[in-house]
Amino acid sequence: MSTKVYVPCDSSAQALGANRVAEVIGAEAAKRGADIELIRNGSRGLFWLEPMVEVETPQGRVSYGPVRPADVPTLFDEGFLKGSQSPLFIGPTDEIGYLKNQERLTNARVGITDPVSLDDYIAHEGYRGLRRALEMQPIDIVQEVTDSGLRGRGGAAFPTGIKWKTVHDCKADQKYIVCNADEGDSGTFSDRMAMEGDPFVLIEGMTIAGLAVGATWGYIYLRVEYPVAHRHLNQAIEAAYAAGYLGDDILGSGKSFHLEVRLGAGAYVCGEETSLLESLEGKRGLVRFKPPLPAIEGLFGKPTVVNNVVSLASVPIILDKGGAYYRDFGMGRSRGTLPIQLAGNIKRPGLVEKAFGISLRELLYDYGGGSASGRPIRAVQVGGPLGAYLPESQFDTPLDYEAFSAISAALGHGGVVVFDDTVDMAKMARYAMEFCAIESCGKCTPCRIGSTRGVEVIDRIIEGKQRGRNEELLRDLCDTLLNGSLCALGGMIPFPVLSALEHFPEDFGATKTHAA
């Protein structure tokens, strides 16, 4: 019988050379007459070990990593096909501490299955949620999601069940499910990993959403920077259509749901839901005034559910195991699990899916192993470019939406970006403003013009010119942005800027005295 060998096809694994490793393993096996079945799985999310090669043994899957192409002949010599010891041997994959201590609900299959194999998906509990949903009344599906306590994972943390109920209650000839797959935040990659590593879970989640609210069409608005996700989604959608999981008569139920992937074109603001809808309609991605809410007048003026990838990908397990099962993870009003992404200057970057409540310190040191450079960690930005910079004194904050807002920070999409003590926080504050200027949709003045002025003001502070007056000006400007912006791009850019100023004043020349 042939031995199963897994080499990830996740784009970060590819970025670290996985394709070449897979090729060389194939060639080496052929040369030696070894009978192997090479499977391209998603990534387990242990990126410091990528490319991580797994071999199926009678005792389960064991892993080796990071494997370079040149290591492959030696691995064969050492008998890795039998799971033998070797300098690259990590051990049984499920026993790796980083992975073993996680609570993977949404990402249960990512890294395990062949992402584009429908059979593999079904063999690993796939489509059980949809089968159950097909036997339920739409309102009961909505109730199950409400009971789970799921809040949107895209940033705003709005309760998903309430959003669905609004769309469910609308009377309309057409409703839509739109998946926000724009994932523009720096430090985030869990949407990407889910789409590349388990696209069917998103398709299943969207189909269930369609049944729940009475929508027969769905769009995945995918950022153009994700070509691997694009391919995998399209392959999976095609397979789902072919097997009757999508189309006019889903599994003979008489219910229909259609799905298409649409590509964005490199605009951060198109992650904002109303801008995204404008873009899907073929317009410039200008943010819309709310109300009306997209739930009532969304895509092409019709009631529309807009949800993030991870939100929708969490729905199948909620339907399969029940809302209560999911709700039993987490703390306070933050229920279930959050896929946390450890990135930046960190020794063990990767995906950590945990119930809400884990502290930043545990993540940074127990999981992340400290900085990659070996220097002290000085600042951590949580929640993308609009998130606050946190100093060491706040590392004990538990990951929980309310706990973060209590310290004027945001969890956002769960991205954690680490900086060591070489970081210049005035420069990071300047960058945040510059980013806002580059990505502003231009609809409101504070964001369009204020961000450019903000860069100039920070430049003057850095140069030490009239520091006191310019700091005052910067705070004033942030206030205007906070209160006068239509969307969170302008409205939240003060978070990184002011937190940097607040916690790292020395980088802004605060100790020096300047004439005001």
Partner 1 sequence: MTENMTREQRIQAVIESLKDKPGALLPILHGIQDDLGYIPSEAVPAIASELNLSRAEVHGVISFYHYFRQTPPGKHTIYLCRAESCQSMNAEALEAHAKKRLGIDYHQTSDDKTFSLEPVYCLGQCACSPAIMVDEEVYGRVTPERFDEIVEAVKEEA
Ligand X SMILES: Cc1cc2nc3c(=O)[nH]c(=O)nc-3n(C[C@H](O)[C@H](O)[C@H](O)COP(=O)(O)O)c2cc1C
Q: Name the site residues for partner 1 (rule: CB under 8 A).
A: 11-12, 14-16, 45, 47, 50, 183-189, 191-192, 224-227, 262-268, 279-285, 300, 341-345, 349-351, 372, 381, 385, 415, 417-420, 423, 428, 431, 435, 438-439
What's the CA gap between 361 and 353, in Å, rounded? Answer: 15
Q: Closest by alpha carbon to 425, among 463, 376, 381, 485?
A: 381
Q: How far is the CB of 353 from partner 1 (least distance, A)?
A: 14
Structure-block tokens of residue 141:
């599906």
Q: Which range in 233-241, 302-310, 350-358, 366-374 contacts ligand X by CB under 6 A?
A: 302-310
Positions in 175-204 near ligand X (CB under 6 A): 180, 182-184
Burial class of 114 by CB neighbour count within 10 A (0 to 12, 13 to 18, 19+): middle
Give the DSSP H or E segment for 308: strand 304-308
Nearer to ligand SF4, 161 or 412 (CB): 412
- Look up tokens 């608005």; give the residue: 221
Nearer to ligand X, 315 or 500 (CB): 315
Structure-block tokens of residue 284:
């410039």
For residue 485, the partner it binds in ligand SF4, partner 1, ligand X, none, with Cβ less than 5 to 8 A by kind, is: ligand SF4
For residue 208, the partner it binds in ligand X, ligand SF4, partner 1, none, with Cβ less than 5 to 8 A by kind, is: none
- Look up tokens 């969207």; give the residue: 206
- Is the Cβ–Cβ distance between 258 and 217 less than 8 Å? yes
For residue 153, the partner it binds in partner 1, ligand SF4, ligand X, none, with Cβ less than 5 to 8 A by kind, is: ligand X
Pick the binder of ligand SF4 from 317, 355, 433, 489 (CB under 6 A): 489
The answer to the question of residue 271 lying near ligand X (CB under 6 A) is: yes
What's the CA gap between 471 and 476, in Å, rounded? Answer: 9
Nearer to ligand SF4, 42 or 384 (CB): 384
Here's the x/- map for ligand X, 94-133, by CB under 6 A: it reads as: ----------------------------------------
The answer to the question of residue 230 lying near ligand SF4 (CB under 6 A) is: no
Number of Cβ within a 10 Å radius of residue 36: 18
Nearer to partner 1, 231 or 327 (CB): 231
Which residues are CB-contacts of 87 (< 8 A; sequence separation ≥ 6)? none
> Rounded to 5 degrees, what angle do the CA atoms 107, 187, 46 make?
45
What's the CA gap between 12 and 488, in Å, rounded? Answer: 29
Q: Give the phi and the psi of residue 398 in degrees, each rounded to 5.
A: -75, 145
Structure-block tokens of residue 453:
């002025």
Nearer to partner 1, 225 or 366 (CB): 225
Residues lying near ligand X in the complex (CB under 6 A): 152-156, 158, 180, 182-184, 269, 271-273, 306-308, 311, 487-489
Residues that bind ligand SF4 (CB under 6 A): 269, 287, 440-444, 447-448, 485-487, 489-490
